[in-house]
Amino acid sequence: MNQDVGPHDNGSHDNGSFTGVRGLRLRHRTWLPRGMPLGVVVIAHGFAEHGGRYAYLAERLTAEGYAVRALDHRGHGLSDGKRTRVVRFSDYVEDLGLFIESGRERFPGLPSFLLGHSMGGLVALAYAVSQPASIDALVVSAPAACAGDVSRYRVTAGKVLSRVAPDAPVLRLPLQKISRDPVVVAAYNRDPLVFRGPIRARLGAEMLATMEAVDAALPRLRLPLLVMQGTRDGLVDPLCGPHVYELSGSPDKTLKMYDGLWHEIFNEPERDSVIRDLVAWLNARLTREPEAPPSRISR
């Protein structure tokens, strides 16, 4: 596994790569604060996008003293692999585990926070329930962790297609609804690293199976958990965030619902306020306390 350069005296950004499961080459980005980091935030991005789209969030977090690392999932961004195609959803999860492990080696002793958005939220949840000792806290933004209003017929049809025609298109997302900020939407539309095709049958079926597995495991989750969700999300059912919050067995869990915000809460006009909430939550958990604070919901 390639190791990128160590901490810098001045804030900086560097890129690297590593070998994921099944021998696929995966790319990643690292943003470093001035001096030694307070902790490390690992970002798992959503379907069709890439880690580079989190540059603004990363820059805000590095200004607060955090190192930020974001990988491009297999078949996404600069990473190798057929665009958005996956044999098993667990490939994403295992890749993420290798990436987190490399961060632990690079930043030994520092708190490690995992942040997953949308499909990346499902990847992060699947990792957290299977490897809770590898991270110190979990944040999910608009997690694609429930089927929402998908009909039973569509679910069954998707499972059948996954076996006989895994690359068959099953769902095209309304990507114009990622943000109310037209500048964000325009940048997304002209980004050559963004995939604009549909979700394929295999990925859809694998996501549904992973949702079921995560649901079964969430009551056993004890990691500090922050769930962040816009109430006007047009890509992920806004009830998915509360669903994760309610199922989680964490004694330290927080649900932040943002009235009127769309899917990408870190790219909405209110992004700075949302990021302040994130930073405050991270800062409060830089050192684990013997007794966790009570669960809470806020808007």
Catalytic site residue from 72, 91, 233, 237: 233
Per-residue pLDDT at 287: 73
Query: Is 76 among the catalytic positions?
Result: no
Query: Is 118 among the catalytic positions?
Result: yes
Query: Is 233 among the catalytic positions?
Result: yes
Q: How many of the other CB atoms lie within 10 Å of CB of 186?
A: 10
Q: E-strand spans in the chain?
A: 12-19, 25-32, 39-44, 66-71, 112-117, 137-141, 169-171, 199-200, 225-230, 253-258, 296-298
Question: pLDDT digits over 87-116, tens only?
Answer: 899 999 999 999 999 999 999 999 999 999
Per-residue pLDDT at 11: 58
Question: pLDDT digits over 9-64, tens only?
Answer: 345 788 999 999 999 999 999 999 999 999 999 999 999 999 999 999 999 999 99
Residues of the chain with pLDDT under 50: 1-10, 151, 289-293
Contact yes or no for 145/125 (Cβ under 8 A): yes
Q: Provide the residue count of the chain.
A: 299
Catalytic site residue from 79, 90, 112, 118: 118
Q: What is the CATH number of domain 12-298?
A: 3.40.50.1820
Give dist(CA 89, CA 211) in Å, integer: 11
DSSP 8-state secondary structure symbol assigned to residue 198: P
